[in-house]
Chains A and B, each alone.
Chain A
Amino acid sequence: MNLNYKRVLTTFCLLASLVMVLQSPSAAQTSRGADIAVVVHPDTPVTDLSLSEVRKVFLGERQYWNSKLPVVLMIRAPVARERDVVLKVIYQMSEAQFKQYWVAKIFRAEAASPPKIVYSNDMQYELVSALPGAIAFIDARNVRPGLKVLRVDGHLPGEPGYPLR
């Protein structure tokens, strides 16, 4: 009886520790940082988008800035803070859901390719400034001259009410 009691207690403790580990926040959870700027190629004919319009662009529901200029989506690779903010605020999806969303989107013939994956801010800066129609998210502290920073819901990064942070 005593032995059974200890076995049950041991099992319970093991399960409790497992649940605590599983329910704990991810170690990769990001800390609060600077605002995330929405940047586009300087020739892109847009200066101000609402958050829902940014979402529409990044969901692939708006694919053209105008009839001659397709949207070129860029997103940072996993672990980058910019990506975490985009997934949380724009897509409202987990990493897995984001990947599945684009597989399904392409499979439905609604888009020919997913967003381009960019591995560093430098690379992102070079490509957005070079590719007409490109749009990306950059930590506002790393924005350099040569990119157009969009207002989101009428606000620039750093202003009160800016939604991407």
Chain B
Amino acid sequence: MYRRLSLPIVVIFLAASSAWGQSPPAPDQTEQIRILVERIQQLEKRVSDLEARQPAAATMTLAVAKLSSPPASEASEAVQPPAPVAGRQQEGRDEHGTVQQLETHYPSLQIRGFGDVDFSATDQKGTNSGFNLGQLDLHLASALSRKVAYFGEITFNAQPTGYTVEVERSIIRYDFNDYFKISFGRYHTPLGYWNTAFHHGAWLQTTIIRPELEKFGGTFIPVHFVGFLAEGNIPSGGAGLSYNFGVGNGRGDIISRPGDAGDNNDNRAWVANLYSRPAKLYGLQLGASVYRDKVKAANGLNYREWITSAHLVWTKESPEFLAEFFNVNHQSILTNAVTNSQAFYVQVGYRLPWLGKSLKPYYRYEYIHTPLSEQVFTNLDLSGSTLGLRYDITNYAAFKMEYRNTRRLETDPRVNGLFFQTAFTF
């Protein structure tokens, strides 16, 4: 009988011991810890003083002194690391590593990759369940000087007949100061929030896929933009205002794509984005955007396009809140007929405090409405909910699983689906 009861008692004892061991220390222990911490700090200071008297420290100081007077040429602002000294080789290596980390070479190319593997199963007729390889995304960042930098993004996309390679972003930027930075190249159009916050790496976003209105290859908004962009902060005190203003080619003959190889008309598109990150409400961002273009529809007619949007986001993860609204206005140049299409999404998530804050449940509702008279788009109507859970298995990899329930037209049946993804950066 006693033996039968022994296991639960031992487990309770262990649990109690564990809890006792983790409870806050008693006041006398706190005092002891304080004394020990002070003692450690005194010893650290003493070690520092001793190190300062050694020749190795003098070598280090010499190396650092070189940092303060960099050579006139920007080709290399590297610092010669300190030479290892006998008896202090390990410390020398540590210092060497730190100084090396602080070296600035131009150009300084950094590459980061993103990838994802997905599984999907839906009850939609004519679709198959199965795995698919998401985008393999390479991001390049290279400082060319203290005020000039290049950013690039290239994706490899799985297709039925092989892989396609796409230059998603290619930007060279000149920084004059915090208030004015100008860049040229191919961008993600600064319309709203999501399109410039998350880009192609699925690991960056909470959910498995982007909202339908922002999806890559979609037509509701021009996701990409080729031209120039001015951006910066606006002196505004605690309001934390910033802006983007760009001029570019606008939509191409295939309206989901920008005019990478040249504009299809003599009309330039322009985009303006104004947003605020109030100092008193760290985590909040709210803003508005406008985009103007002339587009050629599949019917051969030209339309003036006005896109207006507003967003409100709370970027902290407990909770996370993202909401955006878009209105796309098309006016026929020939007939003056006007259509307005609307879309919005609202997404909420919450980083749970347990398990090292690795779990984040989320929900998103999204809606798109295009009127029957719309001529530039085919019908894009959608109403759908996404309920999911993200599990960050490490700092750089996550598992996500989602249930989605969507409907295109009022007369269509609802489609239910289960989706899984592992997304990572490397």
Taking Cβ atoms with an 8 Å cutoff, the residues of A that contact B are 2, 6, 9-10, 13-14, 16-17, 20-25, 31, 33, 50, 52-53, 55-56, 61-64, 66-67, 70, 92, 94-97, 99-100, 103-104, 106-109, 112-113, 116-123, 126-127, 129-132, 139, 141-142
B204 CB to nearest A CB, Å:
5
Q: Which of A55, A62, A96 contacts B282 (CB 8 A)?
A: A55
Known interface pairs A107-B199, A117-B101; A17-B147 also in contact (CB < 8 Å): no
Q: Which of A6, A17, A116 contacts B4 (CB 8 A)?
A: A6
> What would be 6 A-B contacts, judged by CB atoms less than 8 Å apart?
A17-B11, A61-B242, A92-B316, A113-B141, A117-B98, A122-B51
Which residues from B are CB-within-8-Å of A13? 8, 11-12, 15
The number of residue pairs between A and B whose CB atoms lie closer than 8 Å in the complex comes to 144
Within 8 A of A (CB), among B135-186: 139, 141-143, 146-147, 149, 151, 169, 171, 173, 175-178
Contact yes or no, B68 A131, CB < 8 A? yes
Q: Which of A23, A33, A50, A119 contacts B98 (CB 8 A)?
A: A119
Known interface pairs A14-B11, A142-B45; A130-B178 also in contact (CB < 8 Å): no
B425 within 8 A of A: yes
Contact yes or no, B282 A92, CB < 8 A? yes
Contact yes or no, B41 A106, CB < 8 A? no
Q: How many residues of B contact A (CB 8 A)?
A: 75
Taking Cβ atoms with an 8 Å cutoff, the residues of B that contact A are 4-5, 7-8, 11-12, 14-15, 18-19, 22, 30, 33-34, 37, 41, 44-45, 48, 51-52, 60-61, 64-65, 67-68, 94-95, 98, 101-102, 108, 110, 112, 114, 139, 141-143, 146-147, 149, 151, 169, 171, 173, 175-178, 196-197, 199, 201, 204, 233, 238, 240, 242, 277, 279-280, 282-283, 316-317, 354-357, 392, 395-396, 425
Q: How far is the CA of A53 from the CA of B52 in the complex (A)?
A: 34
Q: Which of A23, A52, A63, A142 contacts B354 (CB 8 A)?
A: A23
